[in-house]
Structures are given as C-alpha cells and as structure tokens.
Amino acid sequence: MTTTTKYIFVTGGVTSSLGKGIIAASLAKLLQAQGYRTTIQKLDPYINVDPGTLNPYEHGECYVTDDGAETDLDLGHYERFLNVPTSQANNVTTGRIYQSVIDKERRGEFLGKTVQVIPHITDEIKERVQKLGNSGDYDIVITEIGGTVGDIESLPYIEAVRQLRWDLGDNNGLVIHLTLVPYLSAAGELKTKPTQHSVKTLMESGVMADILVCRTEHELPMDLRKKLALFCNVREEAVIQSIDASTIYDVPNLMLKQGLDTVVLKKLGLQSHQPNLTRWNEFLKRHKNPKTEVTIGLIGKYVELQDSYKSILEAFIHAGAENEVKVHVEPIHSEYLNADNIHAKLSHLNGILVAPGFGERGIEGKIDAVKYVRENKMPFFGICLGMQMAVIEFARNVLNLKDANSTEMDAKTANPVIGLMESQKDITEKGGTMRLGSWSCNLKPNSIAHKVYKSNTIEERHRHRFEFNNTYKDQIEASGMIATGINPETNLVEIVEVSDHPWFVGVQYHPEYKSTVANPHPLFVAFVKAALKHKNKNKRATMA
Ligand code: GLN
C-alpha cells in the first residue's frame, strides 16, 4: 500500500475518562502548529448509530457538525483546539459500521460470501479510518478509539488497528496508549502494574504501543519512567506523563514540554519544528489573568453534569478570556425554580443563559427565569429551547396569551407560539430527523445580532424539531419582541430580541458549537460584556 497520509491511533487502558480526547486534540494542536494538516476522528464502540438518541445523563452533550452529524462531544474539543470544522466522517460508531455492512449485504455486494466480523466489519472500520486520509486534505489523521482495551466491544477496532499498522508499514502509523498510573496514598507510591497489564492486553491482540501517555496525579519520577519503558517495550522518551492540569488548554504545552510531538514526528519520519503557539498562548495568558469577574446563571435541567453543557461552558471560557474576565457559571436547576424563589436565586447574577433541552421537565422554571430577567433588565441569552421559552414567556405575559406554549409540551394548546414545521409533522423516526447542521440566517440592521456579528448573513448549526410559529410574528413584534434573524430559504425565525431591554437575545441555533480558542463566538463575547456592564451599573447604583 502506498500512502502519504500518516495515521496515529490513540487507545485507552485501565479505566475510561482518562482524557483521550484532550490528549488527541493537544497532540493535533502541536502538529498543526508545525504546519501539518491534521484531523482527529473518534470511533465509538457502541451500537447506537449516533449519540443523537442518547440522553445527556448517559453520554453528555451531543455535538453537531456543519454537515448535520450528531456526534460525540470529543469532536467539540477537536474543533475548539484546531479551529477546523469536523464532519460525519470524524465520528463513527459500531451501529453505523454494522448498518453499512448489513445494507451492503442486502444489496448483494458480498457476492454470496458469509459476512463476518473479520474481515467485513474490520474492513469497514479500516475504510472509515482511511476515508479522511484519502481525501487528500490531511497529512496526519489521529484516530481515537473509544472505550478501554480488553472490552468485548472494542475488539474489532483493535483488530482493525493491528491490520492497518501492518498494511501501512513502519513509518506511516503509530499507536499511543493512554493509561492510568494510580497513586496509593497508604503506600505513598505510584503504581505501574495496571499500565503493564493494559499494554499486555493490547499485545494479546497483536498491537504494540509505541508511546505511553500516563495519566497521573503526581510527577512520574525518572526511575518509574525507565521501569515502564523496560516492561512495556517503549523507548524512555516515549513515556509521557499527563498530570492533572488546572485547565484542559494547558495540555498542549504540557505535552510539548515532554516532547510528545517530537517523538511522534520522529517515529513517522517527519521533520519537527518549533510549533507556533502564539495565538494559543495569548489566549491562555488572558484566561489566567482576568481583570475582573462576572457570574452567569446557567439554567437547565442537567446542570449537575459537567458534560451536558460542555460546549456552552467552553464558549464561556473563550469569551471570558476575550474580555479578560473570569466567568463563574452558576448551575441552576430549572425544575426547582418558581415565582416564589426566583428573586433569591437570580438577583445576585450578572446575566442568565437558558439552556437547550427537550421535554417538559423544568420548563416552567425556565419561563419564570425569563420573566424575571426581562422585567429586571438583566442580560439574557436563550439557546434553542431557551429561545423558545423566551417566546412563550413573552406571549404569556406581554401578549397576555396565558396558555401560550410549545406543542412539544402541550400538543393541544390554543396558542402554539412554538410548533412543528410542516415538514416535521409526518416524521416518526427519532434518529437524525431533526433540523440539523448549518443553516444561513439574515440579520436585521441595527439589531444586537447585527452589531455583534458585524455581518448581514451568518451560518449557524441547528438541532431541534420545533420552531417559532410565524402566525404570531406580527403580534409579537408589535409588542416589542423583534425577529432579528430570519432564514432566507424558509422564512423561519432564528433570532429574537426584546427591544426595550439592554441585552435580551434568544437564538434558535447553537452558537456554542462554533466557539473556538482562535475564534471565540461573538455572541458569547458580547453577552459576557453585557453581563459586566450590568454588574458595574448595579455596583454604581448601590454606591449612589
Ligand atoms: N426541544 C426543542 C426542539 O426540539 C429544543 C431543542 C434544543 O434545545 N436543542 O425544538
């Protein structure tokens, strides 16, 4: 096989949640910063065709790409680190692999052969891995294998890696194995045995790790690195520690310091240079040296889980750095909010963001929160369901349509200010059938959105079924909630603003998916700025 693209496989051992995605993204950043066109792909060994049907308690946020793929949240890290859009090709699940193989079987493409895990499933996996490389767009493809080696469901992936390493030849591929080196406080010692066993498990499948990245809470001393190298068949310089960092954005520099990029490039027969991390380090400097702080209430129903609103939390980090402000995000459970406790729960905040979501639970609390901030002129940012709640609140309390609702929550409401599009009405399948991916939107001159984006037309990513009901548009606009962003093809309302308010913006799309370190999202940047202004105004008012 001749190839110009180089392939890096990242596997994990000992336990899950070691941060394979962050290591893959950090390495990709270092390679990109040396001029190598790099992309990252995630292979997920579960049977769902995509994570779109998984609830956030199971799998955290579902990340959406420009081409409308519902994907694993690690793709969000890839985009935030690299500032390059990903696509459906960057996330493949076992469900998708099997679906494709079974479809081929039904079409008779296997010409009467018995269809088997090896070679048919493994061939399909190999094809998906090489699809990005064969596009000619990348010098290096990093493939992260989800799960932990030794899992039954990971086996076909590890086998595909074994075959690919063989097919690609020595200098064209390598394996990075991420493990845990636990610290036993009773013994006062770091332990290498789990890593040794994990490498052995990998070897049983015929895969040799070229590089070990060891997650640890304490510095790995030299003798321990030597021991790991000796027992695990890797060079000493290829034993890299991944020590707990105060921010994930420190990890590229931590990897650079230990030469992970140099070891990788040497093994792949590529030149290494000094990576250009100027923009990255400027961001880090601003992130770590805020001049002041603001507190934003994040109102949602999964707020106890860090991963459910991953992209929103990261977008606040980018926007905070841009404003040189530390953004404290205060999670507020919408289910426990009501008219009686709303003042106590929200009055100290400098702004609120009402989160995306599905279903009825917690929506009345969200509506109460919107009412409070609209009336008290506190900055408001509503995303997707958050925007829909803003429209419902306005219809109920300003237009006096007391039963206004979304047909998602009340199919029989007399005032469906949020409803299903015609094209959605006959859809019965849940997977991949929402309005997904990138859509354009025209902005109304002089609106907040127009000033913030500094553009007449924008492209943003969607993931929802329900929409602003245009039958109510004139009535709503006449009372002061203005549709400031309209989809030019469908006429759907994508942005609403309340005119008599310093910063009240609801968006039907998900701006958080497009915020990156290099390009913080302008709406998040402007919202943080508005929150700061609100804080300073309140401070002046209390001093006066
Ligand atoms: N549940 C709403 C809809 O489907 C909003 C979805 C979301 O917030 N992503 O339209």
Condensed to tens digits (0 to 9), the pLDDT of residues 150-193 reads 999 999 999 999 999 999 988 999 999 999 999 999 999 999 99
**Nearest alpha carbon to residue 405 among 352, 465, 463, 360:** 360
Nearest 10 degrees: Cα torsion 241, 164, 151, 26 = 30
pLDDT at 424: 78
- Pocket mutation for ligand 1, best pick of 420, 463, 492, 509 (most atoms within 8 Å of C-beta): 463
User: How far apart are alpha carbons 112 and 119 in whole angstroms?
Assistant: 15
Measured in Å, how far apart are the chain's first and last C-alpha atoms?
76
pLDDT at 58: 78
H-run or E-run covering 299: strand 292-300
Residues above pLDDT 90, as percent of the chain: 88
Cα distances from 39 to residues 64, 198, 445, in angstroms, run 17, 27, 37
Question: Around 428, how many Cα atoms within 13 Å sit in the side-chain half-sphere?
Answer: 0
**Nearest alpha carbon to residue 387 among 475, 522, 299, 505:** 505
What band does 360 get if pLDDT is binned at 50, 70 and 90?
confident
Q: Per-domain residue ranges for the chain?
A: 7-281, 290-407+497-543
Does 3.40.50.300 match the CATH number of domain 7-281? yes
What band does 3 get if pLDDT is binned at 50, 70 and 90?
low
Mean pLDDT calculated for residue range 51-60: 82
User: Is the model's pLDDT at 55 over the cut of 70?
Assistant: yes
Q: How far is the CA of 467 from the centre of ligand 1 (A)?
A: 9
- Model confidence pLDDT, tens digit, residues 78-91: 999 999 999 999 99
Higher pLDDT, 144 or 52: 144
User: How long a stretch of residues is the chain?
Assistant: 544
- Model confidence pLDDT, tens digit, residues 307-355: 889 999 999 999 999 999 999 999 999 999 999 999 999 999 999 999 9
Question: Which active-site residues does the annotation give?
Answer: 384, 510, 512
- Say if residue 61 carries a ligand binding annotation: no
Q: Which two tokens stand for residue 401?
A: 């349509």
Cα distances from 331 to residues 57, 324, 387, in angstroms, run 16, 22, 18
Query: Under CATH, to which class is 290-407+497-543 assigned?
Result: alpha beta
Ligand 1 pocket member 46 (CB < 6 A): no
- Say if residue 165 carries a ligand binding annotation: no
Greatest CA separation for the chain? 85
pLDDT at 1: 43
pLDDT at 427: 77
Contact between 164 and 129 (Cβ < 8 Å): yes
Give the pTM. Answer: 0.94
- Say if residue 196 carries a ligand binding annotation: yes
Q: Decide: helix, strand or coil at residue 361.
A: coil
Contact between 88 and 69 (Cβ < 8 Å): yes
pLDDT at 57: 78
User: What is the overall mean pLDDT for the chain?
Assistant: 94
- Model confidence pLDDT, tens digit, residues 491-532: 999 999 999 999 999 999 999 999 999 999 999 999 999 999
Ligand 1 pocket member 358 (CB < 6 A): yes
Q: Which residue has the tokens 């990252």?
A: 40
Ligand 1 pocket member 365 (CB < 6 A): no
Same fold, 7-281 and 290-407+497-543: yes
- Model confidence pLDDT, tens digit, residues 238-295: 999 999 999 999 999 999 999 999 999 999 999 999 999 999 999 999 999 999 999 9
Nearest 10 degrees: Cα torsion 228, 231, 232, 237 = 40
Q: Decide: helix, strand or coil at residue 40.
A: strand
pLDDT at 327: 98
User: How far apart are alpha carbons 489 and 263 in whole angstroms?
Assistant: 50
Q: Which two tokens stand for residue 118?
A: 């090896």
pLDDT at 455: 96
Interior CA angle at 456 toward 452 and 458, to 5°?
Answer: 75
Contact between 304 and 331 (Cβ < 8 Å): yes
